Amino acid sequence: MVAQNVFFAILAILMIVSALKVVTTKNIVHAALWLVLVLAGVAGQFLLLGAEFVGVTQILVYIGAVIVLLLFGVMLTKASIGHEENINMPNRVLPAVIGTLMFAVMSYSIIDSYRGEELPKETVTSAAMVSDSIFSDFIIPFEAVSVLLLAALIGAVVIARKEPA
Amino acid sequence: MIELLALNPSWWQETFLIKVPIGLLAVLLPAGTIVYLYLFKAISFMQSRLGPMEAGPYGSLQLLAEVGKWLQKEDIFPSKADKFVFAAAPFVVLMSTFLLVVVLPAGPDALFVDLDAGIYLAMAVSSVSVIGILMAGWSSANKYSLLGGIRAAGQLIAYELPLILAVVGVVIQAGTMNMQGIVLAQAEGEIFGWGGIGNPFILTQFIGFFIFMIAVQAELTQAPFDMPVAESELVTGYLTEYSGIRFLLFFIGEFASAGVFSAIAAVLFFGGWYVPGIDAGSQVFNVIGPLVLATKTMLIAFLIFWFRFTFPRFREDQLQRLAWKFLIPLSLANIAITGVLKVAV
Amino acid sequence: MSQLPGILKGLKVTFRTMIKTLFPGGLLKPIPKPSEGALTVQYPHVKEAPPARARGVIALHEGNCTACMLCARECPDWCIYIEGHKELAPPRREGGKPRQVNALDRFDIDFSLCMFCGICVEVCPFDALFWTPEYEFSELKLADMLHDKERLGEWMETVPDFEEYEDGSEQKVRKVPR
Amino acid sequence: MSVSTESEQLAYIASQAADARVNVEVETDEGMTLNLGPQHPATHGTLRIVAKLDGEKVVAAEPIMGYMHRGYEKLTEVRTYPQVTTLINRIDWLGSFANEVPFILAAEQLMEVEAPPRAQWIRTILFELSRIANVCLFLGDMAVQVGATTPVFYAFRDREFVLNQIERVTGGRFHPNFDRIGGLKDDLPKGWIEETRGALDRMKSFCDEMEELVLGNEIFQARTRNIGVIPGDIALSYGLSGANLRASGVDWDIRRDANVGLVYDQVDWKVWTHPDGDSFARFWVRLQETREACNIIDQLLGTIPSGPIMAKVPRIIKVPAGEAYVATENPLGEMGYYVVSKGDLTPFRVKIRSASFSNMSITPWVLKDVFVPDIISILASLYFILGDIDR
Q: For residues D379 and D40, give the distance between their C-alpha atoms in angstroms, rounded to a whole number.
A: 13
Quick check: do C and B touch, 3+ CB pairs under 8 A?
yes
Q: Is B210 on the interface with C (CB under 8 A)?
A: no
Q: For residues A124 and B1, give the distance between their C-alpha atoms in angstroms, rounded to a whole number.
A: 8
- Rounded to the nearest integer, the mean pLDDT of chain B is 79
Q: For residues B156 and B164, give the distance between their C-alpha atoms in angstroms, rounded to a whole number.
A: 12
Residue range B64-79: average pLDDT? 84
Which of D216, D141, D205 is CA-nearest to residue C10? D216
Q: For residues C21 and D161, give the distance between their C-alpha atoms in angstroms, rounded to a whole number.
A: 17
Using a pLDDT cut of 90, give the percent of chain B over it: 0
Given C7, C18, C42, which is nearest B50 (Cβ)? C42
pLDDT band at B1 (very low <50, low <70, confident <90, very high): very low
pLDDT at A88: 67
Quick check: do C and A touch, 3+ CB pairs under 8 A?
no
Q: Which residues have CB under 8 Å from A157's CB, separation 6+?
A: none
Contacts 24+ apart (CB under 8 A), B333-336: B334/B165, B334/B166, B334/B169, B334/B205, B334/B207, B334/B208, B334/B211, B335/B165, B335/B168, B335/B169, B335/B172
Given C39, C76, C118, which is nearest D87 (Cβ)? C76
Burial (Cβ within 10 Å: 0-12, 13-18, ≥19) of residue B294: buried
A78 alpha-carbon distance from chain centroid: 25
Q: Is C30 on the interface with B (CB under 8 A)?
A: no
Helix or strand run (H / E) with residue B184: helix B179-188
D361 alpha-carbon distance from chain centroid: 15
Helix (H, G, I), strand (E, B) or coil at A152: helix
Q: Is C5 on the interface with D (CB under 8 A)?
A: yes
pLDDT at A1: 56
Strand stretches in chain A, DSSP E: none
Residue type at D244 in one-letter notation: N
D157 alpha-carbon distance from chain centroid: 21
Pairing of strands D179-180, D183-184: antiparallel
Compare all CA atoms of chain B with the CA of A68 and give the residue at the minimum distance: B131
Compare all CA atoms of chain C with the CA of D303 and give the residue at the minimum distance: C168
D contact residues 146-185, partner C, Cβ 8 Å cutoff = 150, 154, 157, 160, 164, 167-173, 175, 177, 185
Which of D263, D319, D301 is CA-nearest to residue D115? D263
Using one digit for the tens of pLDDT, what is the confidence trace for C33-92?
777 777 777 888 888 888 888 888 888 888 788 888 888 888 888 888 888 888 777 777
Chain D CB contacts of B40 below 8 Å: none
Q: Do the beta carbons of residue D65 and residue D360 sit within 8 Å?
A: yes
Per-residue pLDDT of chain D (391 residues; tens, 9 = 90+): 455 677 777 777 777 665 554 444 444 455 677 777 677 766 666 777 888 877 677 888 888 777 778 888 888 888 888 888 888 888 888 888 888 888 888 888 888 888 888 888 888 888 888 888 888 888 888 888 887 888 888 888 888 888 888 888 888 888 888 888 888 888 888 888 888 888 888 888 888 888 888 887 878 888 888 888 888 888 888 888 888 888 888 888 888 887 787 888 888 888 888 888 888 888 888 888 888 888 888 888 888 888 888 888 887 778 888 888 888 888 888 888 888 888 888 888 888 888 888 888 888 888 888 887 788 888 888 888 877 787 7
Quick check: do C and D touch, 3+ CB pairs under 8 A?
yes
What is the full DSSP assignment across D57-110? EEEEEEEE--TT---HHHHGGGS-HHHHHHHHTTSSTTSHHHHHHHHHHHHHHH
Helix or strand run (H / E) with residue D335: strand D333-341
Q: Do the beta carbons of residue D63 and residue D48 sit within 8 Å?
A: yes
Burial (Cβ within 10 Å: 0-12, 13-18, ≥19) of residue D43: buried
Given D80, D86, D212, which is nearest C117 (Cβ)? D86
**Residue B197 confidence (pLDDT) above 60:** yes
Q: Which residues have CB under 8 Å from B146's CB, separation 6+?
A: A75, B137, B138, B140
Q: For residues C168 and D118, give the distance between their C-alpha atoms in angstroms, rounded to a whole number.
A: 9
Q: Do the beta carbons of residue C78 and residue C94 sit within 8 Å?
A: no
Q: For residues B236 and B227, give the distance between their C-alpha atoms in angstroms, rounded to a whole number.
A: 9
Q: Do the beta carbons of residue C30 and residue C98 sit within 8 Å?
A: no
Alpha helices, DSSP H only, in chain D?
A: 6-23, 72-75, 81-88, 96-111, 117-145, 150-170, 192-210, 218-224, 232-237, 243-246, 254-257, 279-302, 355-360, 363-366, 372-382, 386-390
> What is the Cα Rg of chain A in Å?
20
Using one digit for the tens of pLDDT, what is the confidence trace for C94-143?
777 777 777 788 888 888 888 888 888 888 888 888 888 888 888 888 88
Burial string for B48-65 (b: 16+ CB within 10 Å, else e) reads bbbbbbeeeebbbebbee
| Residue D89 vs residues C38, C86, C173: alpha-carbon distances, Å | 31, 39, 27
What is the ipTM for the molecules in this complex? 0.77
Chain D CB contacts of B310 below 8 Å: 148, 150, 213
pLDDT band at B10 (very low <50, low <70, confident <90, very high): low
Q: For residues C38 and B47, give the distance between their C-alpha atoms in angstroms, rounded to a whole number.
A: 8
pLDDT at D24: 43
Q: Is D100 on the interface with B (CB under 8 A)?
A: no
What is the full DSSP assignment across A21-55? HHHH-S-HHHHHHHHHHHHHHHHHHHHHTT-HHHH
Chain B CB contacts of C39 below 8 Å: 48-49
Helix (H, G, I), strand (E, B) or coil at D271: coil
Q: Is B53 on the interface with C (CB under 8 A)?
A: yes
SS3 of chain C: CCCHHHHHHHHHHHHHHHHHHHCCCCCCCCCCCHHHHCCCCCCCCCCCCCCCCCCCEEEECHHHCCCCCHHHHHCCCCCEEEEEEEEEECCCCCCCCCEEEEEEEEEEEECCCCCCCCHHHHHCCCCCEEEECCCCCCCCCHHHHEECHHHHHHHHHHCCCCCCECCCECCCCCCCCC
Q: Do the beta carbons of residue D348 and residue D110 sit within 8 Å?
A: no
Preferred mutation among D44, D150, D374 to probe B, highest tally of B CBs within 10 A: D150
Q: Is C102 on the interface with B (CB under 8 A)?
A: no
Burial (Cβ within 10 Å: 0-12, 13-18, ≥19) of residue D78: exposed
Given A29, A56, A67, which is nearest B121 (Cβ)? A56
- What is the biggest distance separating any 2 CA atoms in chain C, rounded to whole angstroms? 99
CB atoms within 10 A of CB C24: 16
Residue type at A132 in one-letter notation: D
**Residue B101 confidence (pLDDT) above 70:** yes
Cβ–Cβ gap B48/C15 under 8 Å:
no
Using one digit for the tens of pLDDT, what is the confidence trace for B133-162?
888 888 887 777 877 888 888 888 888 888
**Residue B3 confidence (pLDDT) above 50:** no
Question: In chain A, which stretches have pLDDT less than 70?
Answer: 1, 78-89, 119-125, 163-165
Q: Do the beta carbons of residue A11 and residue A44 sit within 8 Å?
A: yes
Cβ–Cβ gap B116/A50 under 8 Å:
no
Q: Is B302 on the interface with C (CB under 8 A)?
A: no
D contact residues 191-250, partner B, Cβ 8 Å cutoff = 213-214, 217, 219-220, 222-223
Preferred mutation among C40, C41, C42, C46 to probe B, highest tally of B CBs within 10 A: C40
Distance from CA of D165 to the nearest CA of C (A): 9
Which of B46, B41, B48 is CA-nearest to residue C38? B48
| Residue B91 vs residues B75, B85, B156, B263: alpha-carbon distances, Å | 15, 10, 18, 22
CB atoms within 10 A of CB B47: 25
pLDDT at A106: 92
> What is the Cα Rg of chain C in Å?
25
pLDDT at D27: 47
**What is the pTM assigned to this prediction?**
0.81
